[in-house]
Structure 1
Amino acid sequence: MSNKFESFMNKYLNPLANKMDKQVHLSAIKKSMVALTPLLIIGSFCLIPEAIPNMIGEDNALSQWILANLDMIYIPFKVGMALMSLYVTAFIAYHLARSYKLDVPGTISMAIISFLMLAVDYTEDGGIMTSFLGPKGLFTAMFASIVAVELFRWCKKKNFTIKMPEDVPDFVSRSFEMIPISVIIIGFFLLIRIICVNGLDVLPPMIFTMLFAPLVGSMDNPFAVTFLQMLRCLLFFFGIHPSVLSPITSPISTQFLAENIEAVQAGGQAMHFFTPGVESAFGNFTGTGVTIGLVFWCLLSKSKAQKQVGRVALIPALFGINEPILFGAPIVLNPIFFIPYVICGGIIGTIPHWMMHFGWVKCSIFTPPYVGVFLEGWLTNLDAMSLVANGIQLVLSILIWYPFFKLYEKRELQREEKSDEAKSIISKEDAALLDDLDLDF
């Protein structure tokens, strides 16, 4: 049964995952979401000063200064996370242009203007509304940047450009080449805007919001998050890095984080538990599948090989990296470890999500850098209950991995014993016979 399932995964899932990982548009989205990390960290930092007066009281100079300068403290958030869709548009266009070997400045400018044509609305006094330039416009940003670059590429392929003489400076020539391309791309997105606003009486981003509402809403369901975590473990079990799912999941988790921060900034509470910081600090506590339990038992193993694997894997595990134990134990393609890693690992990895769902742990407002287990979890929400959640994960991981590890250790000890016998010139039986003879020379 195990061999049939492995063959099925290798035949169908591996090629699909490899295609997804190499697919140019999904790759551009994944790289763009990673590029957002500094903005997320800086934007999240802006909420930390506001929490200080609550922690140390308001009757001191530091708290008074913070309360008097909150508007200034929030500026990095307002020009960073609050405009994240604009940055994502530029990032995706950049990576696609690099993949297609197109003019990078030209593609970025066309992608940005295309997105703005779909997302920008105006106030009664002529001001610009920025509602969809932040997390609410992420899916619109992806659509606009991908379509704009593809139109740019099509125009270049069909030679819809103005060719200038060779003696014209390159920067001037490129500007004239862009004229027909600009007309086609801007005209296309202007048509979309007219159809949506005049025909459907709705801004284009609202259409994307309605289309993706079921997908986005499902990630506020702990059952869906647990299933997703099991799927990630399943992929890694077969040697496929779960980052292949990030083009789908990262936009949602990033949007939720921004909405949490906006809610707290407005005096409310963070409500979304599916955020980048939570996925890293809790979902991947000591690594995908919460494998610290296996590392612990490897350190105490009677098997020399497993003990060495435990020593190598310990420090990386404390910083959420578990490739050494995944490929060293190994967990990957090891039928004995399927249940504790894929099923139990998916459940343990989402216990804090359930705790947040029931209100026992605060939802995340911060995506910290890799600072180590426990500290990373606490930094996501500055809630001491995060330490309790990580502690529960640690204990459960150690308990669940024990019987499976002992079964595997028994096999490893038998293998090592046979290996030692093969290396020895004199067998155990012959050595015992020589001992019985008690020969003295």
Structure 2
Amino acid sequence: MQTGFMGKLADVLGRFATKVNSLRYIMVIKNAFAALIPVIITGAFGTLFSAMVFDNENGLAQINGLGFLVDLKPISSAISYVTLSFLTIYAVFLIGIELAKLNKVSGVFPGVVAVMSYLSVNPTVYEFTNADNLKVVAENVLAKQYTDTKGLFLGMFVAIASIELYCWLGRQDKLQIKMPDTVPTNVSTSFSALFPTILTVAIIATVGFIIKAATGMYAYDIIYNVVQKPLEGIVQGLPGILLLMFIAQVFWVIGIHGNQMVKPVREPLLLAAIAVNTEAFEAGKEIPNIITMPFWDMYMSMGGSGVTIGLLVAILLVSKRDDMRQITKLSLAPGIFNINEPVIFGMPIMLNPILAIPFIVTPLVTGTIGYVATSLGFAAKAVVMVPWPMPPIVNAYLATAGDIGAVITQIICIIVSILIYLPFVKVSNKVTTEVA
């Protein structure tokens, strides 16, 4: 009965997953944000050095004889600025290239078209009130909110719209400039892109102008306030992030990579959240976001999806099955680095009605513990984006720029995960054959 139900569920969700993953814009966004990870981590390490090396209050610069390190802080500040403060520009560029590839247009120039199109819908006049309460108008500038993570969703929309238009225009024979065969290929290609480029940027800029004229607001204001900000609010709440994790875990259980399924929603929002935290930390401001990409890794994915580090320890403690113990021994080394496919598919957890329950429940419980500890101030909010294979304990320490409360909270979460998995491992002792 259970097997029949699980089989039907796997079939239905499998078809759904295949359909979602085949959507062209989902593929483009996933690929673009995967390529952005080195940018974010580079910026994060700039912040890490700023706080733990170049700072004269908490870093190495406070040590006698190393005070000169504080003079090097502008280096780390510059690294943080050129990475995190321009994340939207990089995302637009990469999305342009990825989408053009799907449209059989090679090269990096579509990325340039996407960036030009995005910039054309944003204002270059910035008004603000200075310290003397005087209104200042700065012309020919691009305000930071249009280049950092606040512009991500508008950037994604404009990049997709502009490249679809550019590629369609590029297929129109009437817009092609024919060059003699003696002209070098790169020159001929450039001239072929001339009219599609002019028309694409002109049309996108015109749409931006019409939106401003009709509503009194720039496209950025509409998209950020109507789409991006509400989504950020949902994911920043505990129910929203638990729902996202629950969906990922269900897909894992039926044999589909759960993280890949939620990535198009998770990456733009959680990567943006950690970028905002990093910038605030660098500027010495209050850290705004509890839930970030490192939060997901620190409290909801220790040892990999399902917090299977708890399962491995539970098996070593109480399992009497040789097959499970053998798989655990093989899985320990990759598990330390949060790689747990050997556990999911080898134990297996996939389609296993016994181990699937704690696999789904555990990250929801540990995520709740992490959220409560952070909201109460016991654990610091994450300010540094660390690579996801970073081992537990180390990742909590680095992600929070050396906060011991976060480390203690993560240790508590690991202990809780062991306690959750223990009774299910004991039940598995009574099962002589694998449940499939």
Q: TM-score, normalised by structure 2?
A: 0.89
Distance 1:363 1:15 in 2: 38
Partner of 2:419: 399
SS at match of 1:47: helix
Partner of 2:157: 143
Partner of 2:20: 20
SS at match of 1:411: coil
Cα separation, partners in 2 of 1:320 and 1:57, compared to 1, 3 Å = closer
Deviation at 1:60, TM superposition (A): 4.3
RMSD of aligned Cα (Å) = 2.1
Q: Are 1:230 and 2:250 counterparts?
A: no
Contact 1:340-1:401 at 8 Å conserved across structures: yes
Deviation at 1:58, TM superposition (A): 6.3
Distance 2:253 2:83 in 1: 37
Partner of 2:134: none
Partner of 1:248: 265
Q: Are 1:364 and 2:364 counterparts?
A: no
Residues 199-238 of structure 1 aligned to structure 2 (within 5 Å): 199-212=214-227, 213-238=229-254
Deviation at 1:289, TM superposition (A): 0.9
Cα separation, partners in 2 of 1:27 and 1:142, compared to 1, 3 Å = same
SS at match of 2:190: helix
Distance 1:156 1:288 in 2: 44
SS at match of 1:335: coil
Partner of 1:351: 369
Distance 1:350 1:38 in 2: 29
Matched AA of 1:129:
L
Partner of 1:311: 329
Partner of 1:263: 280
Matched AA of 2:142:
M
Q: Residues 2-58 of structure 1, C-alpha deviation per residue, up to 9 Å, x if partnerless? A: 346424423332112122223221111112112111221121122223434333586
Q: Are 1:10 and 2:10 counterparts?
A: yes
Q: Residues 354-382 of structure 1, C-alpha deviation per residue, up to 9 Å, x if partnerless? A: 32233221111111122311101111102
Contact 1:230-1:346 at 8 Å conserved across structures: yes
SS at match of 1:407: helix
Deviation at 1:153, TM superposition (A): 1.9
Distance 2:123 2:239 in 1: 36
Q: Are 1:38 and 2:38 counterparts?
A: yes
Q: Are 1:127 and 2:140 counterparts?
A: yes
Residues 42-441 of structure 1 aligned to structure 2 (within 5 Å): 42-52=42-52, 53-55=56-58, 60=63, 64-123=67-126, 124-131=137-144, 132-159=146-173, 160-212=175-227, 213-242=229-258, 243-300=260-317, 301-369=319-387, 370-381=389-400, 382-412=402-432, 415=433
Q: Residues 306-325 of structure 1, C-alpha deviation per residue, up to 9 Å, x if partnerless? A: 11011011111111111111
Distance 2:316 2:44 in 1: 37
Distance 2:76 2:372 in 1: 32
Q: Residues 407-440 of structure 1, C-alpha deviation per residue, up to 9 Å, x if partnerless? A: 112112xx49xxxxxxxxxxxxxxxxxxxxxxxx
Q: Residues 259-308 of structure 1, C-alpha deviation per residue, up to 9 Å, x if partnerless? A: 11222222222121221222223221111111122212333432221110
Cα separation, partners in 2 of 1:352 and 1:59, compared to 1, 3 Å = closer
Cα separation, partners in 2 of 1:61 and 1:200, compared to 1, 3 Å = farther
Deviation at 1:188, TM superposition (A): 1.4
Matched AA of 2:78:
I
Cα separation, partners in 2 of 1:106 and 1:327, compared to 1, 3 Å = same
Distance 1:363 1:68 in 2: 27
**Highest Rg: 1 or 2?**
1
More off after superposition, 8-17 vs 251-260: 8-17
Cα separation, partners in 2 of 1:15 and 1:237, compared to 1, 3 Å = same
Paired residue total: 414
SS at match of 1:219: helix
Cα separation, partners in 2 of 1:62 and 1:84, compared to 1, 3 Å = farther
Distance 1:10 1:68 in 2: 58
Distance 1:177 1:106 in 2: 12
Distance 1:403 1:282 in 2: 21
Distance 2:205 2:19 in 1: 33
Cα separation, partners in 2 of 1:130 and 1:333, compared to 1, 3 Å = same
More off after superposition, 343-352 vs 109-118: 343-352
Contact 2:84-2:279 at 8 Å conserved across structures: no
Distance 1:237 1:177 in 2: 50
Contact 1:283-1:350 at 8 Å conserved across structures: no
Matched AA of 2:422:
Y
Distance 1:221 1:49 in 2: 30
Matched AA of 2:214:
G
Distance 2:376 2:429 in 1: 39
Matched AA of 2:82:
V
Distance 2:157 2:232 in 1: 16
Unaligned runs of at least 5 residues, structure 2: 127-136
Contact 1:289-1:349 at 8 Å conserved across structures: no
Unaligned runs of at least 5 residues, structure 1: 417-441
Partner of 2:131: none
More off after superposition, 188-197 vs 340-349: 340-349
Q: Residues 183-224 of structure 1, C-alpha deviation per residue, up to 9 Å, x if partnerless? A: 220121111221122222222111110122221111111122
